[in-house]
Amino acid sequence: MSNATPLSMQPLASDVLFKLNAVGVQFGRVNALVDCTLTIGRGERLALVGANGSGKSTLLRHLHGLVPAASGQMLKPVPALQAMLFQRPYMLRTSVQNNVAIGLWLAGMRWGAARQQALAALERVGLADLAQRSGKSLSGGQQQRLALARAWALKPQVLLLDEPTASLDPAAKREVESLMAEFAESGMTLIFSSHNLGQVKRLASRVIYLEHGHVLADAPVDSFFGGPLSPAAAQFLKGELG
């Protein structure tokens, strides 16, 4: 299967946020992404799936400008504010409220206003009652919600998430998924990697399957789980769902 975005899924030119043309990313002798050609539009809920080492995290980091391309080109026709959540978010050695406020302050907001907006963001994710606790003292699920609050406070148009619910207990996963769904409903573009195919079914509108840095499937979520796929993608689904 070609790794080009199907014509039926291509966004209008005015809505294109990312356009990758034959992008390759290398780490030493390892080809982390190979000839990756994708178009991602405003308002999509795009899930990246594949085994460990398939290139999911590399693609997210490239989209966020954290790793350069060794070949090809990424274009951003419509500039958009974006934020990224990592699998293990870094917590500053300060209060939960300050963990959010510092990002706003660095973005140019006055400190008093930053603290007020931080409290509103914590309220949004259900952590306002823990505002004065140390960020490092929170549970894993609470830290992910705090990371979501930090991102939401900046009002990004694009949110990239790398395995946002990995290692969380079922209740914490539901809380994080609920916030992701609410952000998407507000118009935010979500691009996330996940090993949880149930989560992909619940949250994604489009699925990309990667293997050894290659995009081997790119389909609407219903087609990915119910339609014909490349043999490699079909085998992956059989293994994960079997």
Tokens of 173: 């996963």
24-62 confidence digits (pLDDT tens): 999 999 999 999 999 999 999 999 999 999 999 999 999
Summary mean pLDDT of the chain: 90
- Alpha-carbon span 18 to 21, nearest angstrom: 10
93-127 confidence digits (pLDDT tens): 999 999 999 999 999 999 999 999 999 999 989 99
- Alpha-carbon span 205 to 219, nearest angstrom: 9
Among 19, 30, 38, CA closest to 70:
30
The pLDDT of residue 122 is 95
Would the pLDDT of 149 be above 50?
A: yes
**H or E segment and range at residue 232:** helix 231-241
The pLDDT of residue 1 is 43
The pLDDT of residue 88 is 84
Would the pLDDT of 6 be above 60?
A: no
3-state secondary structure of 110: coil
pTM: 0.88
- Alpha-carbon span 162 to 151, nearest angstrom: 13
Angle between helices 140-153 and 170-185 (to 10 degrees): 10
Instruction: Evaluate the CA torsion angle 128, 82, 71, 8 in order and state its sign.
Output: positive
Looking at per-residue pLDDT, the higher value among 182 and 6 belongs to 182
Confidence of residue 2 (pLDDT cuts 50, 70, 90): very low
Sheet order of strands, 16-27 included: 30-41, 16-27, 71-75
In the chain, what are the domain boundaries? 7-91+138-241
Would the pLDDT of 14 be above 70?
A: no
Domain 7-91+138-241 CATH assignment equals 1.10.540.10: no
Give the mean model confidence (pLDDT) for residues 1-23.
69
Would the pLDDT of 172 be above 90?
A: no
Would the pLDDT of 242 be above 60?
A: no
Pairing of strands 158-162, 206-211: unpaired
The pLDDT of residue 130 is 96
The pLDDT of residue 227 is 77
Give the mean model confidence (pLDDT) for residues 71-85.
92
Q: Which residues contact 80 (CB under 8 A, 6 or more apart)?
A: 17, 42, 156, 157, 158, 189
- Surface-to-core class of residue 3, CB atoms within 10 Å of its CB (0-12 exposed, 13-18 middle, 19+ buried): buried
Choose the weakest-confidence range: 52-66, 164-178, 188-202: 164-178
Would the pLDDT of 179 be above 50?
A: yes
**For the chain, where are the E strands, in sequence order?**
16-27, 30-41, 45-49, 71-75, 82-85, 158-162, 189-193, 206-211, 214-220
